[in-house]
Amino acid sequence: MQRQQLDGCVALVTGGAVRIGNAIAHALADEGCGVVVHYRNSAKEAEALCRALHAKGVEAWRVRGNLARASDCERLIQEAGEKAGRLDVLINNAAVFNACPMGDISSGALEEEFRINLFAPILLTRHFAGIAKTGRIVNLLDRRIAAHDTMRIPYVLTKKALAEFTRSAALALAPRFTVNGVAPGPVLPPPGKSRSYLKTRAGTIPLGSPVAVDEVARAVVYLASSPSITGQIVFVDGGQHLLGEGV
């Protein structure tokens, strides 16, 4: 049933070349969905991913853009639609994850995080809704939307605001679009950190272990496939959101 929903569709995955975005692109392709891989710096990885998706028998394209620029957000949607000939699904995956405790907060730090993590998904949604008759949108959030992280104050604010936008957009764009969120717990350590980082820095995980990247991708695909679910946020976090306030 899911495969029928996405077979022959085209999805744009922001920050799709590497890490979680790469897994989402593969999971969409496994459902027969073509993928437009958005990247900024990971050009080689985007090219390699497109080759891997072609090898699976689905179409794949690349688009480059800086999501900190509003003009790039509008161009990306247009370019994705033109290259692929259609656009059915938008996965807002790209983000920055900067350490920024209270003493480091500046207008520049806030602006970077908000432009990329919040303004870009909102603008992409708005432009997608402007060119497509119907569609599915999934926003990558973070289990920290149910907590506080005083080491990453701007990051957490952007994800909490994006969770609210997810619900607003679900209502504003119904019945043409569904808009949902996936809130992962610890999946991959930040670039440059080893897997042991997750054990020491990821906090308590009630179910005991970090989340497999494929599980996040499967949740995204499920939400992108469903014609009846909108305004939902699925935590894929080993139960961390149940612990509430702490980091």
Ligand X SMILES: NC(=O)c1ccc[n+]([C@@H]2O[C@H](COP(=O)([O-])OP(=O)(O)OC[C@H]3O[C@@H](n4cnc5c(N)ncnc54)[C@H](OP(=O)(O)O)[C@@H]3O)[C@@H](O)[C@H]2O)c1
Interface with ligand X by CB under 6 A: which residues? 15, 17-21, 39-42, 66-68, 93-97, 116, 140, 142, 184, 186-188
Strands, sheet with 135-140, edge to edge from the N-terminal-most edge strand: 60-64, 34-39, 10-13, 89-92, 135-140, 177-184, 233-236
- 197 carries an active-site annotation: no
Please tell me which residue in 39, 155, 197, 222 is annotated as part of the active site: 155
- Distance from the first to the final alpha carbon of the chain: 38
Q: How far apart are CB 187 and ligand X at their closest, in Å?
A: 3
Question: Where is 216: in which H helix or E strand?
Answer: helix 213-225
Q: How far is the CB of 228 from ligand X (least distance, A)?
A: 25
Q: Which is nearer to ligand X, 15 or 81 (CB)?
A: 15
Of 85 and 141, which CB lies nearer to ligand X in the complex structure?
141
Q: For tokens 């392709």, name the residue.
A: 29
**What is the Cα–Cα distance from 224 to 179, expressed in whole angstroms?**
9
Minimum CB distance to ligand X smaller for 175 or for 192: 192
Our CB check for ligand X shows the closer of 18 and 87 to be: 18
CA distance 39 to 65: 7
Q: How far is the CB of 15 from ligand X (least distance, A)?
A: 3
Amino acid sitting at position 94: A
Enumerate helices (H) and strands (E) in the chain, giving the number of each. Answer: 9, 7
Q: How many CB atoms lie within 10 A of CB 142?
A: 28
Closest approach of ligand X to the CB of residue 156, in Å = 10
Give the separation between CA 74 and CA 67, rounded to whole angstroms. 10
Catalytic positions = 155
